[in-house]
């Protein structure tokens, strides 16, 4: 029995005090919505986590500055279709200018605005489109604009990704709403979120910035950092949480209520992470890789990520091929220390490898499992106390098509 | 002007004193040749380098034992279609039995025989087929069987890969002949060769086992360890060099002649490495990734391998898309330390990125380069004295097809 309740068709605007909009500014050639705005009616505490890519995009640099220098924020603007990455001083000035224009339009200050961009790298932001986007979005801001905002931040995503839930904290109802985008350039090997992945989370709980940062960092490790689609990571990855305090419920470090909130926040982040993998570019499978009883946490992680990122495993899954040799090969080159002779592998609950060799399950039974939309690869090293899991997808013709054609 | 001369249609049997054969034993369902034998008419010194995969296949375990316990060998047997990996004590006994049968047939001892297998993991070796292969191959051994042997070790390779060259050492003509297979499970991040990659090298130079080992280790680092097709590595990778001394030319550690020989051997190994990438599963491009002026050797290697293994770069290359954002993103997440603002990138000689931003070359010019069968991505960090290069391929629809269908 969970202590929180999902809101049907929930989004960031399910949270009291937040308005949002998604509009077409013209970044995308096909006329799809490509500009989103989120506004908090009152100053919101906030925290962020960002790509560790050396080439961090201009908007990421702005967000990092806000996290250091601003105590609260009021708004976020997000464009898709242009990443404003590798754009030098001009790109940075454009990102700052986007904040200034938004601030002027909303009657706030530019250090109360955060900005994200996603799309093509290396092209300067067309500022006329940014201006148009800000004007249209500011005019369209509404209490039920969350779904439109989630749609406007999509790139190769096929479905918008938005959720919300409520829980009770100290006798008051607290809401968490969030949206994310990201279907390619997704890889888990980060200490912070990553992966042409944008995630905006709003809540009406009251928490200071340090606590929000702590909650985000802990939860990212168990959600967005557990997913991989193609092993690539983006220049623009950003997760921002905004907390406006309007529920009256207040979190304090280390309290039981805070842990309750963290778990609900984790549910939101895991659900979005799961939807990102489900909507991975060209993905036809959702695969959970579990590694159990490894000698160390590092060994468990290395092993799980090697299998989850193996192009040979991912193409075999696409083909519905139970070829466990590829799983074994990936474990073998992962760098994890383990005893092959003690290693067992199951697909779902079906034994595949026993003590490093064929477990003897008929291939037809294994085919039945890997032909499913969703299954798990369960590796047991029987050699220690450390576990790790990763969610991944397959690699299909469609993946190649999407990424060979993305540019043109 | 090189100091060696390629032999047209050269192979392992271009080397005096070596016979070889390639026959159909029945491992492959389609009736293609699948069993090869190499024989040295006199005992040959030898050395090997093997996969670092934790699940090393049974034949790899046998080869490692030979390297430790045998001073010379006389023969090698290789089957394709079955990897004899993850086959436990039975698999190890079968690999040893293959050596015994070969020894009996050739009138030598089993510790003079090395064995390799490549193909599906986790299935016990059908010993009746091994027996048939040994009988047929022993009967077919000939002075011009090198090409047939190279054909028999293929799996998803589309062309056999064999070369030979001659050079002068101390006034005598020395020959080096070699064959390799491997088109998938190819990744460079190994300290020894790797990657469903088998390479057998024969020479008539005289060199002791320690020197041969030293030469192989040095050259593998600059050949097979520089190539990547899919970032996966195999349980069975093996490189064996056999030196029968029949030329009368002798190598001694540290001599100028030895360096001359090493360079010729490197040319052989690089040519085979190059052909493996050219014949990579579904590959339509051959891409050299050069990283220059990095702060450390490790930084140069991390950066080059990240680009070479990036699924997003590889699909862009397949699409003939000059999208340098993906190169920049891969450099950014590679873990290499560098200054983005100092980073230049060229495709062949055409500037793409200057000081971390768009170099302004018209896209049409860049398209012209990446549409070629072969081009280079040249990254200059302008920040140190360390270089590294890698050869890689693209990822195509055909790659997915081959690997989704391999099993069935």
**DSSP-assigned states of every residue in A80-127:** EEE---S-HHHHHHHHHHHHHHHHHHHTS-GGGEEEEEEEESSS---H
> Residue A206: is it exposed, middle or buried by C-beta count within 10 angstroms (0-12/13-18/19+)?
buried
Say what the ipTM of the complex is: 0.73
CATH code given to domain A286-405: 3.10.20.340
What is the distance between the alpha carbons of residues A143 and A408, in angstroms, rounded to a whole number? Answer: 37
Cβ B54–A336 below 8 Å, yes or no?
A: yes
Q: Does A404 contact B319 at a Cβ distance shorter than 8 Å? A: yes
Domain boundaries, chain B: 4-278, 286-405
Smallest Cα distance from A381 to chain B, Å: 13
State both tokens at B4.
């060696």
A391 touches chain B (CB under 8 A): no
In whole angstroms, give the CA distance from residue A322 to residue B57: 20
**Which residue among B72, B87, B156, B196 is the active-site one?**
B196
Look at B311 and A232 and tell me if their CB atoms are within 8 Å. yes
CB of A194 within 8 Å of a chain B CB? The answer is yes
A50 in reach of chain B (CB within 8 A) = no
Q: What is the DSSP string of A294-325?
A: ESSHHHHHHHHHHHHH-HHHHHHHHTT---HH
- Inform me whether the C-beta atom of residue B122 falls under 8 Å from chain A C-beta atoms: yes
B396 to A397: CB separation less than 8 angstroms, yes or no: no
Cβ burial A340-375 (10 Å sphere, 16+ → b, else e): beebbbbbbebbbbeebbbbebeeeebebbbeeeeb
Q: Do you know the residue count of chain A? A: 408
CB contact A408 to B (< 8 Å): yes
Q: What is the pLDDT of residue B184?
A: 60
B196 in active site = yes
Which of the pair, A182 or B201, is modelled with greater confidence?
B201
Name the CA dihedral angle for B114, B36, A316, B305, rounded to a multiple of 10 degrees.
60
Query: Is B319 within 8 Å of chain A by CB?
Result: yes
Residue with the bigger pLDDT between A399 and A80: it is A80
Mean pLDDT calculated for residue range A111-136: 94
Q: Nearest Cβ partner of B55 from A83, A187, A356?
A: A356
The low-confidence residues of chain B, meaning pLDDT below 70, are: 1, 183-195, 229-234, 405-408
* Beta strand residue intervals within A220-373, DSSP E: 227-228, 238-243, 286-294, 344-347, 350-354, 357-358
- For the question of whether the overall pTM of this predicted structure is more than 0.90, the answer is no
**Residues from chain A contacting residue B233 (CB–CB below 8 Å):** 329, 332-333
- B342 to chain A, any CB pair closer than 8 A? The answer is no
Note the pLDDT of residue B192: 30
Q: Choose the closest CB to A232 out of B187, B310, B322.
A: B310
The reply to whether residue B325 touches residue A356, judged by beta carbons under 8 angstroms, is: no
> Does residue B372 contact residue B289 with C-beta atoms inside 8 Å?
no
Which residues have a Cβ under 8 Å from the Cβ of A136 and sit 6 or more positions away? A21, A23, A24, A25, A35
Contact between chains at A333 and B397 (C-beta distance less than 8 A): no
The pLDDT of residue B231: 61
What does the pLDDT read at residue A157? 85
Is some CB atom of chain A closer than 8 A to the CB atom of B258? Answer: no
State the catalytic residue, choosing from A87, A155, A196, A258. A196
The string of pLDDT tens digits covering residues A37-89 is 999 999 999 999 987 777 888 999 999 999 999 999 999 999 998 989 989 99
pLDDT, one tens digit per residue, over A356-383 is: 999 999 989 999 999 999 999 999 999 9
Q: Which residue, among B404, B405, B406, B408, would best test binding to A if mutated, counting the most A CBs under 10 Å from its CB?
A: B404
Which listed CATH number (1.20.970.10, 3.60.70.12, 3.30.70.1560, 3.30.565.10) goes with A4-278? 3.60.70.12
C-alpha closest to that of B180 among B280, B100, B247, B257: B280
CB contacts < 8 A, A to B, total 228
CB half-sphere exposure, A63, CA atoms < 13 A: 28
Q: What is the pLDDT of residues B203-237, one digit of tens each?
A: 999 999 999 999 999 999 899 888 876 666 667 88
B187–A232 C-beta distance less than 8 A: no
Query: CA torsion sign, A393 to A398 to A400 to A405?
Result: negative
Interface test with A, best of B50, B51, B52, B54 (most A CBs within 10 A): B54
Whether residues A54 and B331 touch (CB distance < 8 A) is answered with yes
Give CA torsion, residues A61, A65, A70, A71, to 10 deg.
Answer: 90
What pLDDT was estimated at residue B1?
Answer: 61
pLDDT at B183: 65
User: Taking a C-beta distance cutoff of 8 angstroms, is the pair A295, A337 a contact?
Assistant: yes
Q: Between A204 and A119, name the one with better pLDDT.
A: A204
pLDDT for res A185: 54
Residues of A in contact with B120 (CB under 8 A): 323, 325
**Which chain B residues touch A330 with a CB distance below 8 Å?**
232
Lay out the sheet containing B350-354: strands in order across: B227-228, B386-393, B286-294, B374-380, B344-347, B350-354, B357-358
B29 interfacial to chain A (CB closer than 8 Å): no
From chain B, pick out residues whose CB is under 8 angstroms from the CB of A123. Answer: 358
A4-278 and A286-405 share one CATH topology? no
The closest of A130, A184, A134, A189 to A156, measured between CA atoms, is A184
Q: How far apart are CA B6 and CA B3, in angstroms?
A: 10
Predicted local distance difference test score (pLDDT) of residue A4: 96
Q: At B141, which helix (H) or strand (E)?
A: none
B364 and chain A in contact, CB less than 8 A: no
Beta strands in B61-219 (DSSP E): 73-82, 113-120, 161-169, 172-181, 198-203
Contact A36, A137 (CB under 8 A): yes
Find the CB nearest B86 among A311, A357, A395.
A357
Q: Using a CB–CB cutoff of 8 Å, tell me whether B381 touches chain A.
A: no
């Amino acid at each position: 029995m969970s202590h929180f309740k999902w809101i049907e068709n929930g989004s960031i605007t399910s949270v009291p005090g937040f308005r949002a909009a998604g509009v077409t500014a013209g970044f995308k050639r096909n006329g799809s919505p490509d500009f989103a705005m989120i506004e908090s009616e009152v100053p919101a505490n906030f925290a962020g986590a960002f790509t560790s890519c050396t080439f961090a995009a201009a908007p990421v640099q702005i967000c990092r500055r806000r996290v250091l220098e601003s105590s609260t924020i009021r708004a976020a603007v997000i464009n898709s279709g242009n990443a404003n990455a590798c754009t030098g001083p001009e790109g940075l000035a454009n990102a700052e200018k986007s904040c200034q224009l938004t601030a002027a339009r909303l009657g706030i200050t530019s250090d109360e605005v955060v900005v994200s961009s996603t799309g093509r790298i290396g092209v300067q932001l067309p500022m006329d489109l940014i201006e148009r986007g800000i004007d249209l979005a500011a005019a369209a801001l509404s209490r039920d604009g969350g779904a439109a905002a989630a749609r406007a931040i999509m790139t190769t995503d096929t479905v918008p990704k938005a959720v919300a839930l409520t829980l009770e904290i100290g006798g008051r109802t607290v809401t968490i709403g969030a949206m994310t985008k990201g279907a390619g350039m997704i890889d888990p090997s980060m200490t912070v979120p990553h992966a042409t992945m944008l995630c905006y989370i709003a809540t009406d709980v009251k928490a200071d910035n340090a606590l929000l940062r702590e909650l985000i960092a802990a939860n990212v490790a168990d959600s967005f950092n557990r997913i991989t689609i193609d092993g690539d990571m983006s220049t623009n990855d950003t997760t921002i949480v905004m907390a406006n305090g309007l529920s009256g419920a207040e979190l304090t470090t280390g309290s039981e209520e805070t842990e309750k909130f963290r778990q609900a926040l984790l549910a939101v982040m895991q659900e979005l992470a799961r939807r990102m993998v489900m909507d991975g570019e060209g993905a036809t499978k959702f695969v959970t890789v579990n590694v159990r009883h490894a000698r160390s946490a590092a060994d468990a992680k290395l092993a799980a990520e090697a299998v989850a990122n193996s192009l040979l495993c991912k193409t075999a899954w696409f083909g519905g091929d139970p070829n466990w040799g590829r799983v074994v090969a990936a474990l073998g080159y992962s760098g994890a220390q383990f005893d092959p002779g003690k290693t067992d592998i199951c697909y779902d609950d079906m034994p595949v490898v026993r003590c490093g060799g064929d477990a003897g399950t008929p291939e037809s039974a294994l085919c039945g499992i890997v032909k499913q939309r969703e299954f798990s690869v369960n590796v047991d090293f029987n050699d220690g106390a450390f576990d790790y899991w990763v969610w991944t997808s397959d690699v299909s013709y469609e993946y190649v098509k999407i990424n060979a054609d993305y540019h043109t």
